[in-house]
A and B are shown apart, each in its own frame.
Chain A
Amino acid sequence: MKVHEYQAKAILRRYGVACPRGEVAFTPAEARGVAEKLRSKVVVKAQIHAGGRGKGGGVRLAATPSDVELVAKEIIGMCLKTHQTGPQGRIVRRVLVEEASNIKKELYLGIVIDRRTGAPVVMASRAGGVDIEKVAEETPELIFKEYVDITAGFQPYQARKLAFALKLPPPLLSKAIAFMQCVYRAFEETDASLVEINPLILTEDENLLALDAKINFDDNALSRHADIREMRDLEEEDPLEVEASKYSLNYIKLDGTIGCMVNGAGLAMATMDIIKLAGGMPANFLDVGGGANEEQVKNAFRILLSDKNVKAVLINIFGGIMRCDIVAQGIVKAATELGLHVPMVVRLEGTNVEQGSQILRGSGLNFTVANGMRDAAEKVVALSRG
């Protein structure tokens, strides 16, 4: 799960991480109110779940509270396009109004889980404020890494090594070490999958501040963090994806025209791949899971069909725990209730495939039966072209 910058900073503050003073505002008037309280030059920052906001015009300086109100008026409601939002952009619904800082040097601090070693890795760099992926690719020697032994935790010597590598002036070393340890504690105790402070700034008056902050959380651990769950912003997610998540369905909207419904994530990805190989483009990823019931299949089908780009549907089910007859019943029920306005290709295999096929055949619905994945993909691509 992702959260906004202001939410990430609120979490970091709880762990003693220094961030600029500031508050979120949902309206220009609120933004003005925050600026009046701060009594300083401020930055108005668009809050969306995507990076690159500055370049897209979503981060602006303002000197007085009335300037803040004007700037907030322009930012709230704007469609912000960045390299991470895609060409359609994102509507800005909230801004963070924050005290402007005097930046002496921009640094980078990040923590992620390294899959290869199975350990959290704390990364620091003097190349802050820029796209760290690019730094990692072009000049990896500029990023310093400390792998954490999970049984011992992030040790002071590791923070020291990173602080020295950042070439911080000596009076700042102990501050930097404490800063990093606080960030690590936040990472560990909130079950984060990523914490990124980019930039971490050194101010003119020799302080360290988290000027920007990003935290992603492990979805599997959210059940033990009620406070973080409440930070979810449904408006940042695709409405169909939100709807799907209510029924524990894994749905991701894509740009193509062929809707697909598959059981299992790997098979769902492979189905998308074979649609492309057959000359079509998938409209979505949809994994109904290993043990979906009739109700879930019905809802999956409804969500799939509510995408207006869908010109044909491919259902690819390999029954294991999930029985083909249950899937067939769900499909028939959904298609009967919702009405089927596009061609549908069904490929069933595995547990109770005979019973499943019989249910489909006996339903009187208009669909095409496929034999194997390639046949299914070719048929659905042909049908999608009318």
Chain B
Amino acid sequence: MSILIDGKTRVVVQGITGKEGGFHARQCVAYGTKIVAGVTPGKGGTSVDGIPVFNTVAEAVEKEGVTATLIFVPPLFAADAILESVDAGLDLAVCISEGIPTADMLKVKAVITRRKTRLIGPNCPGVISPGRAKMGIMPAHIHKEGPVGVISRSGTLTYEAVHQLTSLGIGQSTCVGIGGDPIIGSTFMDLLPLFAADSDTRAIVMIGEIGGSAEQEAAQFIKENVKIPVVGFIAGQTAPPGRRMGHAGAIISGGKETAAEKMRIMEEAGLIVATSPADIGDKIKEAMGA
């Protein structure tokens, strides 16, 4: 099994006629994802590699029965695109776009808490359930089907962790990049219960970073609710306070937001903490007794 997506999920790509949207839509199709529609306002009636393009998400739902969207829309228009997918009643929205104003995301967040759509991202690599489907921009070939759930605020650091796992012969159930922005659709806390309930996920890798308190809240949840091993890593042990480290959300604005403090709390909650990013795979191997 897997979480969020599988080979049956019917996906629309918002922004499919753009360079990035088109490129990644093709990559996802090549991986076996059912990309059955695209949306670009004003380009309805055309097609991309045989995938029909519609003017609105509602039309894509009506004509193609999509339940999930993958969003590649420029940052100033991305919040609007997310809200359109929410209005169309989709189950899942994965937003790759980087650079969305925080104020726009506050509005999105206020709306989605009252609706059924689950939002992953923005500013994230997306979701992949190896061997089944991918909705995102991650290099598919480094993944392998298997028992480890991966959840992370980072993109390439997630690839690094996945690569370590695959090199050790350990596959993944689903890998989710939740995004590096301060306001994101789904936090660790929102997704950990899904992994905990997935019978095929037998261990979890959780990759956090400096800034905010999402890892602390997740650690508390794990302590009380998650029975399978969780290996945690926090990036930014050497980051200076007050500086934004690439990701809009990666900034230490108080003593509790440092890597050291997060690692301490994770350890206290019973997580297996990898001090070095090179040890993530080995720690999982140890924990699973493989």
Give me the interface of A with B, judged by CB distance under 8 Å: 84, 113, 115-116, 118-120, 133, 136-137, 149-151, 188, 191, 193, 218-221, 223-224, 250, 252, 254, 262-277, 281-282, 285, 287, 290, 318-321, 349-351, 372-374, 377
State whether A373 and B210 are in contact (beta carbons under 8 Å apart), knowing that A113-B182, A149-B110, A290-B155 are contacts in the complex: no
Distance between Cα atoms of A116 and B101 in the complex (Å): 17
Q: Contacting chain A: which of B37-45, B61-69, B274-282?
A: B274-282
CB distance from A1 to the nearest CB of B (A): 10
Interface centre among A218, A263, A267, A351 (most CB of B within 10 A): A267
* Contact of A250 with B75 at beta-carbon distance under 8 Å, contacts A220-B99, A266-B157 already known: no
Contacts of B209 in A (CB 8 A): 265-266, 269
Q: Which of B158-208 contact A (CB under 8 A)?
A: 158-160, 163, 180, 182-183, 207
- State whether the Cβ of B106 lies closer than 8 Å to any Cβ in chain A: yes
Bound-complex Cα distance A133 to B255 (A):
9
- Render B147-162 as a binary contact track against A, CB cut-off 8 A, 1 for contact: 0000011111111100
CB of B272 closer than 8 Å to a CB of A: no
Contacts of A265 in B (CB 8 A): 154, 180, 209, 245-247, 250
Do A220 and B248 form a contact, CB below 8 Å, given A118-B106, A318-B156? yes
Min CB gap B91→A, angstroms: 21
Question: Which residue on chain A has the smallest CB distance to residue B109?
Answer: A118
Contacting pair A287 B213 (CB below 8 A): no
Is A264 within 8 A of B248, CB to CB? no
A219, A266, A274: the one within 8 Å of B278 (CB)? A274
Check B278–A320 contact: CB distance below 8 A. Answer: no
Q: Which residues of chain A are within 8 angstroms of B237 by Cβ–Cβ distance?
A: 269, 272-273, 276
Contacts of B158 in A (CB 8 A): 266
3 closest pairs, A vs B, by CB? A266-B154, A265-B246, A264-B156
* B290 at interface, CB cutoff 8 A: no
Main secondary structure of the interface of B (DSSP, over half): loop
Main secondary structure of the interface of A (DSSP, over half): mixed
User: Given B107, B210, B249, which contacts A269 in the complex, CB threshold below 8 Å?
Assistant: B210
Residues from chain A with a CB closer than 8 A to the CB of B155 are 264, 266-267, 290, 320
> Across the interface, which residues of A come within 8 angstroms of B278, CB to CB?
274, 372-374, 377
Q: Within 8 Å of chain A (Cβ to Cβ): is B16?
A: no
With contacts A115-B213, A272-B239, A321-B137 taken as known, whether A252 is within 8 angstroms of B106 at the C-beta atoms is no
Chain B contact residue count (CB 8 A cutoff): 64
Expressed in whole angstroms, the minimum distance between the Cβ of B99 and any Cβ of chain A is 5
Chain A's closest residue to B137 (CB) is A321
Given the interface contacts A320-B125, A350-B163, does A266 sit within 8 Å of B106 by beta carbon? Answer: no
Can you offer 27 A-B residue contacts whose CB atoms are under 8 A? A115-B211, A115-B212, A115-B213, A150-B107, A188-B103, A224-B101, A264-B156, A264-B157, A265-B154, A266-B156, A266-B157, A266-B235, A267-B156, A269-B236, A269-B239, A270-B154, A270-B235, A272-B238, A273-B237, A273-B277, A275-B238, A285-B245, A318-B159, A318-B160, A350-B159, A351-B139, A374-B276
Interface string of B105-128 (1 = CB under 8 A from A): 111011100000000000001000
- Tell me whether B235 and A273 are in contact (CB under 8 A): yes
Provide the bound-state CA to CA distance between A263 and B154, in Å: 11
CB-contact partner of B160 in A119, A188, A373, A377, under 8 A = A373
The reply to whether B183 and A268 contact each other, CB–CB distance below 8 Å, is: no
In the complex, B81 has a CB within 8 A of chain A: no
Residue of A nearest to B23 (CB): A321
- B136 → A minimal CB distance (Å): 10
Determine the chain B residues whose CB is within 8 A of the CB of A224 once the complex forms.
76, 101
In the complex where A269-B236, A273-B237, A372-B278 touch, is A320 in contact with B213 (Cβ < 8 A)? no
Nearest CB in chain B to that of A321: its residue = B137
